[in-house]
Structure formats: structure tokens, C-alpha cells
Amino acid sequence: MDTDPKRWRTGLVGYGEVGRILAEDLRAQGVAVFAYDAKLDRPDAAAPLRAHASTHGVELVASHAALAAAADLVVSAVTASQAVAVAEACAPGLRPGSWFLDFNSASPGAKQRAAAIVDAADARYVEGAVMTSVPPHRIRVPLLLGGPHAAALEPRLEALGFAARAGSQTLGVVSATKMCRSVMIKGLEAMVIESFTAARRFGVEDAVLGSLRETFPGIDWETQGAYFFQRAIEHGRRRAEEMREVARTVRDAGLEPWSAAGTAERQAWIADRADDGWFGARGTPGFARSADWRAEADRILAHLEKD
């Protein structure tokens, strides 16, 4: 393997929002990037992925194994429920000594199972915990690395532009950090959507927002509310899967995950409504982009009244 990471061949498993952002930023540095996504097997979903890849010089491959066989670094960026399945699918093609960076928001137990699969293929597994939303930061999103190979991968990722920091050598610790954080962050999204929409229905949103500003003066609730609605509408499905992993993590700690489980249900509910077209056509310029959360809350209330 080349000692210069910028001459590595980087394979992205998952060519969704995160995968495409990483591809763009890596290609801007001249890094060779190729990708595989299950949506490439669906004609109705493949066209925008192929268009993006063509624009940015990303090579699309036909399978997980084909991607792994050519990669110096595999980055798995899929939905949380697929983290172990992706490791299994890549394992037959992984080259000895190659790197496998698990970007997924999965539970510590899932990361440990994925690591065992990758290690058995003589590749080097590193768990990654993405500590905030990717789009504003892009490749520089704060990234915690975990496992026995984390310290060795950190400077190599930094050379590729990542903002990576090695954490615990024990697998599962940095993922537990991510999961416990998500109880708060994804839970706050769900609570804001529920609180603000109900407040809008009863005409008390100004009073509720005024009280929140007094209690938490450091938060711009108007802007934050709009952002929470946008992210849940656009990515509720992925968030729901993550929160199910969070619930498993909380349960493994000995607690019944009432909050995490409820957040998963609310995020999934929003995702279902988005798929039903309540917020406009997915993929169009106006979808989940309202600067005022009231517009989205009114759409929810209008549909509920019809039902």
C-alpha cells in the first residue's frame, strides 16, 4: 500500500448525502474515489447517483466485494441497520492490510460484530463516531476514531482532510459516546417537532418560544426549529434507524430506553409522512428547505385535519 494516503484508492459504501459529500471533497484533492450503493441496482433511484458520479469523477462499481477488492481504504457510510451487513458483504474482497472505516451510527455491539468480520479478513477495522451533522462541516466534521488501529489511521485521515481524533483503543467506546449524545440531539429534534406543531395547533407558539428564549437564552429557537424540521423531514428514516441502535445501547446499560424508543417512533413517523408527500416532492428544490418551521408544521396540521 502506498505510504501517501492521497494516492490511496478510497472506496465509499453508501452514496447518499454523506457519501457524496466525502466523494466531492476527496476528489477535489485528486484522490481516486469509487463507490457502491444498493440504489444503483434500482433504475428509478440510480440516475441521480450516476449523474453525480459522472460530474465529480467518481467510479461506480457493481458490488461490495468489487469495491473492497480495489480499495486501500473502505468507508462504510450506510444506514445504521446495515453496518454489520456491509462488513459481511465487503469481507470476501478485502485485501490484507487495507483499512475499513465504519462511519455508521451503530451501537457498540454492532461495531464489535463488524470489527470481528473485518479482522477475520486480515484488514484493519476502525470505528468512527461522527459527532455532529456532516453537511455544515463536510469532510472536516468532528470524527472520533476507536479500536486498536485508530491511532495509526488518524494521521492518514488527517492527510486526506478529515478532522479525525483517536479515542479509546477498546472497540465500542467511541460509538457509545455517539449513541449517548444522540439520545439528546435526535431526541431534541423529535421534541421540537412535537412541541412546536402542537403549539401551532393551539395558537400558543409565540408564548412557548418566548418561554424557551427566557429559559435557554443562548439558543435561537426560530432558526434551530426550522433546522430540526428540515433534518427530520429529509433524513427521518436514517435517524429512526440510528435511534433504534441508540435504544439498544441504552438497554445494554440496564435502562429501559423510553426516550430513545419514542424518538425513533417520531422520526420514523416524519419519514413516513415525507414519503407520502406531505412536505412536497422529495428531491425537489423546496423539499425540507423552509426557513420557517411554521410552514412545515402547517403542512402536518393540514394533513392531520384531513384524516
Is residue 41 within 8 A of residue 62, CB to CB? The reply is: no
Backbone angles phi, psi at 166, to 5 degrees: -70, 135
Q: Kindly report, residue by residue over 105-157, the tens digit of the pLDDT.
A: 999 999 999 999 999 999 999 999 999 989 999 999 999 999 999 999 999 99
- Burial of 251 by CB count in 10 Å (0-12 exposed, 13-18 middle, 19+ buried)? middle
How many helices and strands in the chain, by DSSP H and E?
12, 8
At 3 the pLDDT is 83
At 288 the pLDDT is 86
At 289 the pLDDT is 86
Q: Kindly report, residue by residue over 68-104, the tens digit of the pLDDT.
A: 999 999 999 999 999 999 999 999 999 999 999 999 9
CATH architecture, domain 175-306: Orthogonal Bundle (1.10)
Q: Kindly report, residue by residue over 151-208, the tens digit of the pLDDT.
A: 999 999 999 999 999 999 999 999 999 999 999 999 999 999 999 999 999 999 999 9
The average confidence (pLDDT) of the chain is 96
Does position 307 have pLDDT exceeding 80, yes or no? no
At 104 the pLDDT is 95
Domain 5-169 fold is Rossmann fold (3.40.50)
Instruction: Give the DSSP H or E segment for 59.
Output: strand 59-60
Distance of alpha carbon 74 from alpha carbon 117, whole angstroms: 14
Q: Kindly report, residue by residue over 27-73, the tens digit of the pLDDT.
A: 999 999 999 999 999 988 899 999 999 999 999 999 999 999 999 99
Domain residue ranges in the chain = 5-169, 175-306
Distance of alpha carbon 140 from alpha carbon 25, whole angstroms: 10
| Order of strands, sheet of 9-13, starting from the edge strand that comes earlier in the sequence | 59-60, 32-36, 9-13, 73-76, 99-102, 124-130, 142-146, 163-166
Place of cell 408527500: 277
**Intra-chain end-to-end CA distance of the chain, in Å:** 59
Is residue 106 within 8 A of residue 175, CB to CB? The reply is: yes
Q: Kindly report, residue by residue over 242-292, the tens digit of the pLDDT.
A: 999 999 999 999 999 999 999 999 999 999 999 999 999 887 888 888 999
Distance of alpha carbon 143 from alpha carbon 46, whole angstroms: 29
Q: Kindly report, residue by residue over 284-296, the tens digit of the pLDDT.
A: 888 888 999 999 9
